[in-house]
Amino acid sequence: MAMRGLTQFIGDIRNCANKEEERKRVDKEMANIRKHFKEATKLTAYQKKKYVWKMLYIYVLGYEVDFGHMEALNLITAQGYSEKMVGYLACVLLLSETNEFLRLIINSVKNDLMSANEEIQGLALACVANVGGREFAETLAGDVQRILLSNHSRPQARKKAALCMLRLLRKYPDAFGEDGIGGNQDQRDSLYDLLEDPSLGVVTATMSLLIGLVSHNPELWTDSVNKCCKLLSKLNHPNAAKEFGQEYVYYKTINPWLQVKILRLLQYYPPPERHEVHTKLCDVLLHIISDAQMQKNVNTNNSAHSVVFEAINYVIHMETNKELISSAVSMLGQRMTASNQPNYRYLALDAMQRMSHIPDAAQQFKKHQETIIKSLKDNDVSLRRRALDVLYSMCDSKNSEQVVGELLDYLQGGDYAIREELVLRVAILAERFSPNLQWYVDTILKLMTLAGDYVSDHIWMRVVQIVTNNEELQLYAAETCYRSLKSESVHESMIKCGGYILGEFGHHIAHKNETSPDNQFMILKEKFHACEQWETKQILISSCVKLVNVHPQIKGAVVELLKKHTTTIDAELQQRAIEYLALTAPGKETMLETVLDVMPNFPERESILTKKIKERERVSTTDRTAAQIKSEQNKDDEDGPQTVDLSASAVKSSASRAKSQLSPSQNPHNDLLDLTAEEPSHMGGGGGGGGGGNLDDLLGAPSQPAATQKSQNLGGLDDLLGGGSPPPPAHGAQQGSLMDDMLGLGIYEDPIINVQAQLAVQGNVAKILLRYTNKSFSEISAFKTAVQQVKIPAMLFQVQDAATSIAPNATITQQVQMQAKTYFSEPPKLALSFSAQGSPRQVTTWLPVHVCKFQQPVTCNKDQYFAVWGKITGAPNESVNVFKSPRPIVRTDVENVVKTINYSALQGVDPNPNNVCGAAKINLGAGDVYCVIRLEIDSAQQAYKLTVKTNNAQVTREGGWGCNAL
C-alpha cells in the first residue's frame, strides 16, 4: 500500500533547488516526526510505519537521526509483516552492534526465528547477520543453527540461515560453544546432507558456509572432499540441466558460482585418496578445461571461464596429473591469442606464472614463448608485468639467450612503468642461466648502457665479484670494459664497474698499444672529470692508484691528480687522495704494494642477486627450468629429499606426533611455574622429537645427529621450521625472552588500585609477575583474581594464589604462568574482585600476552626464504592486503615496524631493494607456525602490498601483521 505522505515528502526533497532548501525541508519534517512521537500511543500502525520510513529516508540522505529509535524497534514486536519489515530495516540502518537498544529486541528476534512464517524468519535472520553483536550471536546462534539443520525449514529460510551462520562464524566463531559448528558427527552429517538438497540455492549457501568452516578447522571437515567431488560430478553431467532445472543455468553453465565454491573448498585439502573418487574428479576437471570454447556472447564466456580458471587453480594445487596439466597449458595458450579479450590474457598469464614451478607445465609453456613475448608490447601495463613474470619463470639454460635478448630489446622501448623490475629480472636471469661467463659480462654491460639509471649498485658489484672469482674471465672483462669506457656517453654505473675492473685487472691488457697503462689512465681520468657522483670519483681514484702499483711509469700523472684533490669538498675523496699520496711517497714502495695488492676472491655467500656462479657453471645445457634446478639442488642427500605437506591435515598429524613424543616430565599439565626446569624439546624446536626434521623435509638437507645440531648454529630457516634452534639454556641460565624485565608496565589503574606486569617468554611458555598496589588509605579485602580466556581454550594456566587483602599503600605480587597450545587472536583477561571503602568492586583488564610474544624472528638467505615461499601458495595459507600509508614511506621505518612485531627484516632477499621481507616462527605447543611476509612498497602512491604466508590458515586469516602500525 502506497504511503501518500511519504511519497509527497520524497517529491519535495527531489524538487529542492539547493542543499540549503533541502535541509530546511528535512528539519521541518524531523520536527513534525518528533512531535508525533511524543504521543506515540495515539498513533496508528500506519502512521508509525510512515514516520519511520521518513526517518530512514532522511538517514540515507546523510542526515543524523538521533531520536525515534525506540518507536522504530517497537514495530519489530508487531504481528504484521509490513510493520516488522520497517522495524528490522530501521534496526539494521540506525543501530550498531554495540548499541544497548539491541538487548530490548533479542526476545522478539528469537520469537521470529521460531516463527512458522518463512518471510518473518528471513527478516530476523537478516537482522542477526547484519547487525548482531556478540550478545546477539551468543544468544541466537543456536536458533539459527536449528533453522538450517531442521527438516521442517523451508528452502528460503535455510539459505538465509546458512549465510547468517557464516557471518557469525567469521565474526564470533566462539558463539557456537566450545565444540563449534560441527562439533559432533551428527551435526556434520546433517550439514553434508544439505549438499544433496533439491534446491541449488540451499546447496550454494551451504557451500559458502562450509568453506568458512573449513577455513577455521580443516581437520574437522575432511569428509567434505568426497561429498564435493560427487556434487561437482553431478553438476557437470550431460543431463544436469534437466535434473536441477533451467533456473540455475546461467548462460549455458549450470550454477557457475557453486562450481567455483566447490573447487575452492577442494584446494584446502590434498587430492582425494580413494582411487575412484580421484579418477572421477580428474575426468570432471578435464571435461571443464577441454570443453571451454570462446563464444560470441560475453556473458557466456564469463560464466564458463569462471569455472575453468578455478579448475586450473585446482590443477595447480594437485601438481601431479600430467594430462590435466597438458590440457590446462593448451587452454591457457589458446586464451593468450584472444587479442580482443585482455582479461582472459591476463588470467592466462597469471595462471602460467603460478604453474611455472611445475616441471611438466614449464616445458610446455615454451610452445607459447613467442606469444608471451608479444604480450610485453601490450598497451596494458598489468599484462606487461604478468608477461615479464612468466618469462622470468619459464627461462632456463636452453632458452636464456633468447629470453634475455628479447627482454633487452624490449628495454630499449622505454617502458618506464616496469623498467626497474625488468632490469633486476634480466640481471638475475643472466647470472642464473648464463651459457658462459663472457656472455654474462656482455649482457650486464649492455644492461648498464640501456638502463643505467635503474641498475642498482649490487648488480655491477656482482659483476665485479664474478670477474674477481674467475681468473679466466679477467682478461675478457678488462678488454670489454675498456671498449665500453671509450664511448662518449657512458652511464655512471658502467663507469663504476669498468673503473674497478681496470684498476684490478687492467694489467692483463697493458701489453697492447691501444690499451697501454697510459691509455687506461687517460680513460679513467677523463671519466673522473665527467662523472657527477662523488662515490664514482672515489672508485676511480682508487683504480688509478692501483695502476701505479703495477705500472710505475704513470706515477707522476697519478700523483698530480691526487694533489689536486687533497682539498676537495668531499671528505671521503679528500681522505683517499691524502692517504694515497702518502703511499706513493719515495721509500713507501713496499707498503704501497702490500696495501694495493690484488683483491682476494669474494666469498660466494656474499652474492645478493642469485645463487653461486660456480653452481651455475655446473648446470648442464639440457632443457631444464628454474623450478627443476631448484629441486635438484636440494638433492644433496643420497636418499633424496622428502616433501613437506603443509596442508592442514599434515600439520595436524605433525602436532599429534609431537604430543605423543612428550615424556612425562614434558607434560603441559605438570608444574608450569618451575621455569628452571629443562625446556621441553617441542617448545624450543631443537633436536628433540618434537620439531626436528622439518627443514630437512622442505629443503632436502641431510639429517644430522642431535649432538651435531646442538653444536651448530644453523640459523636461517632451520630455526623457522624447527630443525636447528639452539638448545634451551642450562639450569640457572638467564631465560631468553622476547620482552625481558618489562618493569612498570601498567595494565590497569584507578584511584584505589594499580596493577603492573612484568613479562618473560621462552619458547611457548610465558611467565608474568603481577604487582597489585593499594593506592588508598583503607585496606582492600576479599581480594580474588582469575585469568580468563576470551575465545576457545588456547592456553594452559597455572596461577599462584594471591593474598586475600592488601594493606594501605602496600603491594603484593602474584605469579602467573601460561603455555600457548594453539594460536589465539585475543589475549587473556585478568579479572579482579575485592572490597574497598565499604563497597564491592570488580575490574577486568587485558594481560599483556599477545601471540606475537611467542614469536621469534628468523634470519635466512634468499634461497631458503623462497624455498618456503614457493611451498605455500593460495588460500587459506596465503593472504594479500593492499592499503595506504597515512604518512610518507621511509624504508628504515618500515623495517623497524617489521622488527617490532618480531619478524626479521631480511636484507638482500627481495629482487626489488625497496621491498621488505621477513620471517618468523611462532612457538606453540600443538606445533610451531612458520610465517614469511613480503611487504611491497609503492612510495609514489604511499601504498603497501602485504603478502603473508604461513602453514596455519587461522594465523594467516586473523593475524594483524602490523598493518595499523604502518
Q: Which three cell numbers stand for residue 821?
A: 597450545
- Percent of the chain that is helix, strand, coil (3-state, to 5): 55, 10, 35
Using 50, 70 and 90 to split pLDDT, how confident is the model at 391?
A: confident
**Count of H helices and E strands in the chain?**
42, 16
4 is annotated as contributing to ligand binding: yes
For residue 790, the model assigns a pLDDT of 63
What is the pLDDT at residue 641? 32
Evaluate if residue 44 carries a pLDDT over 90.
no
Give yes or no for a cis peptide into 155 (omega within 30° of 0): no
| Choice among 200-204, 217-221, 595-599, 602-606 with the minimum mean pLDDT | 602-606
Coil, helix or strand at residue 33: helix
User: What mean pLDDT value characterizes the chain?
Assistant: 78
Confidence of residue 261 (pLDDT cuts 50, 70, 90): very high
Does 51 appear as a known binding residue? yes
Pick among 3.40.50.720, 2.70.150.10, 1.10.238.10, 2.60.40.1230: CATH of 745-849:
2.60.40.1230
Other CB atoms within 10 Å distance of the CB of residue 564 = 10
CB atoms within 10 A of CB 157: 24
* Contact predicate 432/611, CB 8 Å: yes
Task: Answer whether 725's CB lies under 8 Å from 719's CB.
Answer: yes
Q: Are 725 and 691 in contact (CB under 8 A)?
A: yes
Which of 370-374, 421-425, 474-478 has the highest mean predicted lDDT (pLDDT)?
474-478
H/E/C letters for each residue in 595-653? Answer: HCCCCCCCCHHHCCCCCCHHHHHHCCCCCCEHHHHHHHHCCCCCCCCCCCCCCHHHHHH
In sequence order, which residues have a C-beta less than 8 Å from that of residue 38 and are 6 or more positions away?
Answer: none
Task: Report how far residue 520's alpha carbon sits from residue 486's, in angstroms, rounded to the nearest whole number.
Answer: 10
Nearest CA-CA partner of 48 in 91, 92, 86, 104? 86
| Count of CB atoms situated within 10 Å of the CB of 101 | 14
**Per-residue model confidence (pLDDT) at position 28:** 92
**Span 836-850, mean pLDDT?**
84
Average pLDDT of the residues in 772-786: 88
Output the pLDDT for position 339.
Answer: 59
Least confident residue range of 165-179, 546-560, 635-649, 777-791:
635-649
Q: With a cut of 60, say whether residue 682 has pLDDT above it.
A: no
Residue 964: per-residue pLDDT: 55
CATH superfamily of 437-596: Leucine-rich Repeat Variant (1.25.10.10)
Is 284 annotated in some ligand binding site?
Answer: no
Least confident of 102-106, 354-358, 541-545, 742-746: 742-746
Q: Which of 247, 357, 236, 225 is nearest to 290 (CA)?
A: 236
The answer to whether 630 is a known ligand-binding residue is: no
Residue with the bigger pLDDT between 867 and 176: it is: 867
| Residue bearing the bigger pLDDT, 650 or 808 | 808
- As a whole number, mean pLDDT of residues 702-720 equals 33
Instruction: Give the C-alpha separation, 693 to 641, whole Å.
Output: 11
Q: pLDDT tier at 176 (50, 70, 90 boundaries)?
A: confident
Q: Is 5 annotated as a binding residue?
A: yes
Reported for 351-354, long-range contacts at CB under 8 A and 24+ positions apart, including other chains, are 351/309, 351/312, 351/313, 351/316, 352/390, 352/393, 352/394, 353/386, 353/389, 353/390, 353/393, 354/313, 354/316, 354/873
pLDDT of residue 163: 92
Domain over 852-963 is classified CATH 3.30.310.10: yes
Give one DSSP letter per residue of 545-591, joined into a string: HHHHHH-GGGHHHHHHHHHHTTT-S-HHHHHHHHHHHHHTSTT-HHH
Mean pLDDT of 813-825: 85
d(CA 290, CA 384) in angstroms, rounded, equals 27
Among 89-93, 342-346, 921-925, the range of highest mean pLDDT:
89-93
- The pLDDT score that the predictor gives to residue 719 is 36
DSSP 734: P
What is the pLDDT, as a whole number, of residue 960? 53
Q: Give the model's confidence band at 60: pLDDT under 50 very low, under 70 low, under 90 confident, else very high.
A: very high
Q: What is the pLDDT of residue 723?
A: 35
* β-bridge mates for residue 760, sequence order: 767
| pLDDT(627) > 70 | no
The per-residue pLDDT for 441 is: 92
3-state secondary structure of 196: helix
- Split at pLDDT 50, 70, 90, the class of 377 is confident
CA dist 119 and 138 (Å) reads 23
Do the beta carbons of residue 110 and residue 139 sit within 8 Å? yes
What is the structure's pLDDT at 606?
A: 45
pLDDT at 963: 56
Which pLDDT value is given to residue 263?
92
Beta carbons within 8 Å of 35's beta carbon, 6+ residues apart? none
Q: Is the pLDDT of residue 31 over 90?
A: yes
Task: Identify the pLDDT of residue 634.
Answer: 42
The three-state DSSP-derived secondary structure of 377-401 is CCCCHHHHHHHHHHHHHHCECCCHH
Task: Please write the tens of the pLDDT for every residue from 121-167.
Answer: 999 999 998 887 788 888 888 888 889 888 888 989 999 999 998 98
Whole-number Å distance between alpha carbons of 234 and 238: 9
> What is the predicted pLDDT for the residue at 296?
81
In angstroms, the CA 876 to CA 857 distance is 23
Known binding residue 344? Answer is no
Which is higher by pLDDT, 675 or 282?
A: 282
Domain ranges of the chain: 1-94, 224-320, 437-596, 745-849, 852-963
Neighbours of 841 (CB within 10 A): 15
> pLDDT tier at 720 (50, 70, 90 boundaries)?
very low
The arithmetic mean of pLDDT across residues 611-616, rounded, is 35
Q: Is 52 a known ligand-binding residue? A: yes
pLDDT given at position 619: 36
The reported pLDDT for the residue numbered 23 is 92
- Quick: pLDDT tens for 452-493: 888 888 888 888 988 998 889 999 999 999 998 888 888 888
**HSE-up of residue 610 (Cα within 13 Å, Cβ side):** 26
Say what the pLDDT of residue 868 is. Answer: 83
Percentage of residues in the chain having pLDDT higher than 90? 10
* 551-610 pLDDT per residue, tens: 888 888 988 988 888 888 888 889 998 988 888 888 887 888 888 888 888 876 544 554
Q: Say if CB 83 and CB 72 are below 8 A apart.
A: no
Is the pLDDT at 63 greater than 60? The verdict is yes
Q: How confident is the model at residue 685 (pLDDT cuts 50, 70, 90)?
A: very low
Percent of the chain predicted with pLDDT > 70: 83
Whether the CB-CB separation of 928 and 722 falls below 8 Å is answered with: yes
pLDDT, tens digit, for every residue of 270-297?
Answer: 888 888 888 899 998 888 888 877 778 8
Residue 179 confidence (pLDDT): 53
Is 84 annotated as contributing to ligand binding? no
| Mean pLDDT to the nearest integer, 420-434 | 85
| Pick from 95, 109, 90: nearest CA to 49 | 90
Grid cell digits, residue 858: 628468523
